[in-house]
Amino acid sequence: MFTNQEIQKICEDHNLNRGDVYKIRTAFGSMCQMSETWMTSQGIPQRSERSALSSSELGINVDYFVKNCWYLKGSKENINRRLLTAAGKSNNSFIILIGLDVNSQSAKVTWPIFLDLYCTFVGGLVEKSQLIRFWQKFFDEL
């Protein structure tokens, strides 16, 4: 759970209202749980038990995410992986991702990544210059 100050900061940083933050966080939590179930069914080892995970360690398995993320559902899996890689290479104030090895079984889409991608692809809440840098990174890999 977030403190009131954390929610307020997210709202200000991402131009969201409180209801949006709760909705996005609920979707993230649901995907985390479904990801864990999927990992178990696939025989993918998990680092630690869910109850022992802190909020910052909570995340969605990258393989599960690229196949099942509802807001990226219309694109192919390899495009979704490139989106995660491009977002990880952006160095701006909005997309704060630090990079994601999309080929690692243990890679996770964490809350900041999930939130930033949501704001980029669903909310359209990214400044034009930041969006241009994001797509430049996306196409740099080609």
What is d(CA 16, CA 37) in angstroms, rounded to the nearest whole number? 30
Q: What is the pTM of this model?
A: 0.75
Structure tokens at 140: 């740099």
Query: Within 13 Å and on the Cβ side, how many CA atoms surround 1?
Result: 2
Domain that holds residue 9: 4-140
pLDDT at 20: 92
pLDDT at 91: 42
What is d(CA 119, CA 105) in angstroms, rounded to the nearest whole number? 26
pLDDT at 97: 40
pLDDT at 55: 54
Q: Which residues in the chain land under pLDDT 70?
A: 47-56, 87-103, 125-126, 141-142
pLDDT at 53: 47
Tally of structural domains, the chain: 1
Q: State the greatest distance between any 2 C-alpha atoms of the chain, in Å, as a whole number.
A: 42
pLDDT at 95: 40
pLDDT at 7: 93
